[in-house]
């Protein structure tokens, strides 16, 4: 009880400092994400150098160490929901084929290219070898995982520059749509690769298994998304929520979370199965181009 309280106390004060840092960075025209990543790198470096990361009795252990459940069930869902909610449905669906081409084929091609480059560099001995923890890309699995992990680009800076110079809306839509879907593709790739054994790489059966897994996870997630979105859309149309703003907002967020967590429980990727915003009433906050 007390330990959780102390951890939460430090987390809330740390978040206050992080927001102040982000404000200070943006006033100097540095993106707040750059400031946040730098602060994290400095803190991680200090923990590493002082050896605190090997201390099992550390007070703030539950805060400092990455908790996958917290990430999957609390931090990731709102990010995915926001991406889907702020995408213009009209532009997205009228360019679906192009977007899918970039998001699926493009992301997989990027992952393979990075994996090959890492493996070649690893075989050439460019990385530190020997240390147990070292990522020396000695196994193809490491190289493929790294390639999948960094294949999904997040073109925040590109999109804001595009918005500022008002480029062709088609260009904007394709880049924005791709950035929404490529995360899902990368997550599925990483999950498939993590499930493969290290010696399965290079075996043709692994490739067939991977392709099958990719198609089944994508189709399964889409099916869950439709199965949750269809009744929720019908419900939101039929029930009069005009005097219940709080209930409407709660239902909207809950339906998204229902789809996500159902998909997660069924071992699919939740990020492809969020329902799109309901089609009644107000337009989506961002409509193709950012404000």
Specify whether the CB–CB gap between 81 and 253 falls below 8 A: yes
In degrees to the nearest 10, what's the CA dihedral of 88, 91, 95, 96? Answer: 30
Q: Which of 147, 258, 272, 274 touches a copy of itself (CB under 8 A)? A: 258
Q: Which of 86, 206, 257, 289 touches a copy of itself (CB under 8 A)? A: 257
Q: Is 238 in the site for a copy of itself (CB under 8 A)?
A: no
Q: Is 65 in the site for a copy of itself (CB under 8 A)?
A: no
Q: Is 184 in the site for a copy of itself (CB under 8 A)?
A: no
Q: How far apart are CA 9 and CA 15, in angstroms?
A: 10
Q: How far is the CB of 260 from a copy of itself (least distance, A)?
A: 9
Q: Is 92 in the site for a copy of itself (CB under 8 A)?
A: no
Q: What is the phi-psi region of residue 267: left when phi exceeds 0, alpha when psi lies from -120 to 50, beta otherwise?
A: left
Specify whether the CB–CB gap between 124 and 96 falls below 8 A: no
Specify whether the CB–CB gap between 10 and 60 falls below 8 A: yes
Q: Is 79 in the site for a copy of itself (CB under 8 A)?
A: no
| Dihedral over Cα of 196, 202, 203, 204: its sign | positive
Q: Which of residues 5-64 bind a copy of itself (CB under 8 A)?
A: 5-6, 8-9, 12-13, 15-16, 19-20, 22-23, 26
| Site for a copy of itself, rule CB under 8 A | 1-2, 4-6, 8-9, 12-13, 15-16, 19-20, 22-23, 26, 68-69, 72-73, 235, 239, 241, 244, 247, 250-251, 254-255, 257-258, 261-262, 264-265
């Amino acid at each position: 009880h007390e330990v959780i309280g102390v951890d939460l106390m430090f987390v809330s004060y740390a978040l206050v400092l992080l927001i102040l840092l982000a404000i200070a960075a943006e006033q100097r025209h540095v993106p707040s994400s750059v400031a946040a990543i730098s602060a994290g790198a400095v803190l991680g470096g200090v923990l590493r150098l002082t050896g605190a990361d090997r201390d099992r009795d550390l007070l703030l252990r539950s805060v400092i160490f990455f908790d996958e459940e917290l990430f999957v069930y609390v931090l990731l869902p709102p990010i995915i929901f926001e991406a889907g909610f702020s995408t213009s449905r009209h532009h997205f669906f009228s360019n679906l084929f192009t977007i899918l081409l970039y998001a699926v084929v493009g992301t997989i091609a990027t992952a393979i290219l990075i994996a090959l480059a890492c493996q070649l560099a690893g075989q050439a001995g460019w990385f530190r070898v020997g240390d147990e923890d070292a990522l020396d890309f000695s196994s193809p699995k490491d190289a493929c995982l790294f390639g999948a992990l960094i294949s999904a680009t997040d073109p925040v800076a590109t999109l804001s520059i595009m918005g500022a110079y008002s480029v062709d809306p088609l260009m904007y839509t394709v880049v924005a749509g791709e950035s929404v879907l490529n995360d899902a593709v990368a997550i599925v790739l990483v999950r498939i690769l993590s499930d493969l054994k290290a010696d399965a790489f290079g075996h043709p059966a692994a490739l067939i298994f991977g392709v099958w897994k990719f198609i089944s996870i994508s189709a399964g997630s889409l099916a869950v998304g439709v199965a949750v979105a269809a009744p929720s859309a019908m419900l939101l149309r039929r029930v009069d929520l005009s005097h219940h703003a709080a209930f409407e907002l709660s239902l909207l967020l809950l339906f998204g979370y229902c789809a996500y967590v159902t998909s997660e429980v069924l071992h699919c990727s939740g990020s492809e199965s969020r329902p799109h915003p309901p089609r009644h009433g107000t337009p989506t906050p961002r409509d193709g181009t950012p404000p």
